[in-house]
Chain A
Amino acid sequence: MNHAFAHDRELLALTLESIGDGVITTDIQGNVNGMNEVAEALTGWSCCEAQGRPLEEILVLNGKKMMQHPMSEVITYKMKRGLKKGTTLVAKNGQRIYISACGSPIINHEHQTIGMVVVFRDIDNIVRAEEKLKILYSALEQGPSSILIIDLRKNIEYANPQFVSLTDHDEQSIEGCNLDQLELNDYLSNIRAHLEETMGSGAQWQGEVCAKQRGEPYWEQVVISPVRDNDEELTHYLVLGKDITRVKLVEQEIQRAKEAAEEANHSKSEFLANMSHEMRTPLNGIIGLTALTLLTQLNPEQKENLEIIKTCGDTLLNLINDILDFSKIEAGKMSIEKVDFSLRELLGKTIASHQVNIKPKGLRIETYIDDTVPNRLVGDPYRLQQILNNLISNAVKFTDRGQIRVKIHSQTLANDEVLMHFEVQDEGIGISPGDMNKLFTSFSQLEHSISKRYGGTGLGLSISKKLVEIMQGRIWVESELGRGSTFFFEVVLALPEQGMIIKPIAEDSNKELPLSPTVPIKVLLAEDDIVSQTLMKGMLRARGYHVQIANTGQEVLDSLAVEKYDLILMDINMPQMDGVEATILIRTEEKRTGEHIPIIALTAHALYGDRERFLAVGMDHYLSKPIEMDELYEAIELFQDSKPEQWSGHFIPRLYDATQLYKQLDEDYLEEMSIYIASLEQFLKMRDGLSAEHFAHLMREAAVKVEENEMKKYAFKIELSIRKGEWEAALEWFAKLEEEYSYVKSMGL
């Protein structure tokens, strides 16, 4: 028996079976005559099923541009054949896998082809991985980010075109190079530096790097990360750069815009401050010197002229203040003080200042302050007064008769705060619902003709609203056309802390000050501006004070060395040594002597922060220009030992209480007219021009309403005469008016 041969055959068969790839053999016709297990598994055909079938049926192949079965030429041409890349085997169940295959002819010792053997392998995973890689590679190559991959020795394994474009090299020369041996431009130097940092620390690095692309600035957000293999071993570093040029440029623009805005804002503040000073200075001169001249001996004509000038000046000052306030608010530069003040005194002072407008109209103001309302509060009395003044003056302006009521309530909140509730109620012309929305907007005055008739800038309510809002409050109105309006506002104020001493500003009220003070004191006036000097000197001497002038800070010190003064009025803006410097020197010296001379700062700038600055260097008080006489006197008196009496808070009633007249008013015009006539006579005899003209005007309007032309004419004539100061003529026309009235009354309308 051929035992060895049989053993060989068995071994061979076993070997074939054991091969890890698929093996199929065919006869010379190309029909399958043998398959191993792997071939069975891959093709889905069993050996028995496949036996005798053509190879093409069993090893079904599919590929791009495949004209014929690739193995078909193996036997015919006695050649080995392989498969094109991407060829798939279609298994019996239709499943496709990528395979590589090699078909070889089986040639016997007589050089006869007896068949074919095809060995094939499942390379599906490999091919799919390859395809994935291909896609990734395209992405890296073509994507907008720049990519660099280096190994641990800084050899460049991969650099995509985008990266290369930033290095000023061209593509060929960079892959395979070592980073330490390449010529480096700024960008590449930067990258290398950051790489070295990362390689040292082993952590990821992120940051911005600047480069140039085609000569233009180019910004990248770069991330450098370590790359590890499957065993967590560090093998490479990846440098990934994202284009942030646009973002960067926008950033730079924003930065520039921000700086420009800050510059503009700064200029705006300076502009406001300068305008404030520039406009107030000459106005100060006008108002002040006029007031001074009014104190001298004058004939009636001069007195009248000057009073008109003063009124114009005051009006102008109010307008300027309104406009500046409004600008300040718009620029976001309005600030609110926190000062200790007395509510009742503030109210008293405010109401008193409106008396001059109420008298001729025969109106009255009543105040109601709830008992629970605290008297001492911490807030901004100046701004509070501004709001009250605005509302009260509107009430007076738009009301011809009756009462104006000011009411105050309060509600205690947490944290030592109080919600103050104010009401200003009038019986005036009222506001229509349609007009209410426009009220608090700027430049609003409800009707152009009304605005001309009632005067004002139209900014008052808008400013009040903004001020109230800054004080965490709100303002609103209720009104009925023809019956009257009530303006409400609420603000949050604070209660004073116990033991806090803050000098109140101008607390004492607006009263008639006697011309000779109780204590004549020596005042040192530090002021370099000639106009201001004259003005202040005049005001101080009128009060009986002794005045010494100093033009600079140095002169102040020199004067103090020679004589003792009771008080210093210190202008801040002086040449060579200004008021602040002088104060510092004085206070320093006083530490040695233990004395303290009161120093009041005079300043044209009244911006936020100034007060703190002055107090910080040791000033006791400050006044802002233009300085009013009574403000000045009150401030000086704060530092004197004896104080004048407290003001009682009542206004002086008129000789003739016109309000009584209104109690009888009803729709009967004749009744009205009789009242007007009576009043008119009264005021004509008293030579009270304003009141007389007022009633003559009412008379005229009433006459128009009842279409009595003669009476209208006489009333007009009376008006014209009053305006000229021709009282005799006015009385003559009045006589005629009275006659006509009696006639008409007797006849009935």
Chain B
Amino acid sequence: MRILIAEDDLASRKFLYKFLSAYGSCDITVDGLEAVEAFLLAWDEEEPYQLICLDIMMPRLDGIKALRMIRDLEKQKNLLPAQRAKVIMTTALNESQTVMESFEIGCEAYAAKPIDTKKMEEVLQKMNFLKG
């Protein structure tokens, strides 16, 4: 399974990479623009990402906007909801505003940093992602 991580902080990036590598092959991007580009690239290669971890606070393009673009692109390709990538938003902020927004645009889960690994595991399990 291919996983896309978008996270601008080095330490968080390393952590997510190590943690999620257990579930699949991870690609690391450092801002929203790269994330969208990687997403498109993966599509072109016909190996789209099934799980995307988006940090909300990122330079150039933030997580919310990236999420919006990814969902729009998926719509353009006429994907059924079940076929869409599962998205987990991560952030150090605690604003309910951003949480609401992301859920409205369409994400599956929301994790506050520092990430609780136990919870993350549970969520991934619920999404039927298994450790390989």
Q: Which residues of A contact B (CB under 8 A)?
A: 304-305, 308-309, 311-312, 449-450, 452-453, 713, 716-717, 720, 723-724
- A453 to chain B: which residues have CB within 8 Å? 59-60
Report which of A312, A449, A716 forms a contact with B11, defined as CB distance below 8 A.
Answer: A312
Q: Specify which of B29, B41, B58 is in contact with A713 (CB 8 Å cutoff).
A: B41
Q: Are A720 and B60 in contact (CB under 8 A)?
A: no
Determine the distance from Cα of A724 to Cα of B28 in the docked complex, in whole angstroms.
Answer: 7
Q: Decide yes or no whether B37 CB sits under 8 A from chain A.
A: yes
Output the least CB separation between A300 and chain B (Å).
13
Q: How far is the CB of A92 from chain B (nearest CB, A)?
A: 100
Given known contacts A452-B57, A452-B58, A453-B59, A720 and B38 CB-to-CB distance under 8 angstroms: yes
Q: CA–CA, A566 to B66, complex, Å?
A: 63
Interface SS of chain A = helix
Known: A309-B11, A312-B11, A452-B8. 20 other contacts (CB 8 A): A304-B14, A305-B14, A308-B10, A308-B11, A308-B14, A311-B11, A449-B59, A452-B57, A452-B58, A713-B41, A716-B34, A716-B37, A716-B41, A717-B41, A720-B27, A720-B38, A723-B28, A724-B26, A724-B27, A724-B28
Question: Which residues of B1-45 have CB atoms within 8 Å of chain A's CB atoms?
Answer: 8, 10-11, 14, 17, 26-29, 34, 37-38, 41
Q: Give the residue among A311, A312, A452 with the most B Cβ atoms within 10 A.
A: A452
Contact assessment for A449 and B60 in the assembled complex, using a CB-CB cutoff below 8 Å: yes
Taken together as a complex, chains A and B put the C-alpha atoms of A450 and B60 apart, in Å, by 8
Measured CA separation A726–B57 after assembly (Å): 27
Tell me the smallest distance from the CB of A313 to a CB of chain B, in Å.
Answer: 10
30 A–B pairs (Cβ distance < 8 Å), ordered by A: A304-B14, A305-B14, A308-B10, A308-B11, A308-B14, A309-B11, A311-B10, A311-B11, A312-B11, A449-B59, A450-B59, A452-B8, A452-B57, A452-B58, A452-B59, A453-B59, A713-B41, A716-B34, A716-B37, A716-B38, A716-B41, A717-B41, A720-B27, A720-B28, A720-B29, A720-B38, A723-B27, A723-B28, A724-B17, A724-B28
Output the nearest chain A residue to B17 by Cβ-Cβ distance.
Answer: A724
Q: Report the separation of the CA atoms of residues A304 and B11 in the bound assembly, to the nearest whole angstrom.
A: 11
B59-111 contacts to A, CB under 8 A, are: 59-60
Neighbouring A residues of B34 by C-beta, 8 Å = 716
State how many angstroms separate the Cβ of B132 from the closest Cβ of chain A. Answer: 16
Shortest CB distance B23–A (Å): 15
Chain B neighbourhood of A312, CB < 8 A: 11
Residues of A within 8 Å of B29, CB to CB, are 720
- The list of the 6 closest CB pairs from A to B, nearest first, reads A452-B59, A723-B28, A453-B59, A449-B59, A720-B27, A312-B11
| B57 cross-chain contacts in A, Cβ below 8 A | 452
A453–B17 Cα distance when bound, in Å, is 21
| Closest B residue by C-beta to A721 | B27
A residues in contact with B38, CB < 8 Å: 716, 720
Docked Cα-Cα span, A656 to B56, in Å, equals 38
Complex formed: what's the CA distance from A713 to B29 in Å? 14
Residue of A nearest to B34 (CB): A716
- Nearest-Cβ distance from residue A643 to partner chain B, whole angstroms: 39
Chain B residue nearest to A454 (CB atoms) is B59
How far apart are the CA atoms of A311 and B9 in the complex, in Å? 12
A131 to B11, CA, bound (A): 96
Q: In whole Å, how far is A730's beta carbon from the nearest beta carbon of chain B?
A: 13
Give chain B nearest CB distance to A489 CB in angstroms.
29
Give the chain B neighbours of A452 by CB distance below 8 A.
Answer: 8, 57-59
Q: How far is the CB of A693 from chain B (nearest CB, A)?
A: 10
Least distance between A723 CB and chain B CB atoms (Å): 4
Contacts of A723 in B (CB 8 A): 27-28
**CB nearest neighbor in A for B58:** A452
Q: How far in angstroms is the closest Cβ of chain B from A696?
A: 12
For A724, the chain B residues whose CB sits under 8 A away are 17, 26-28
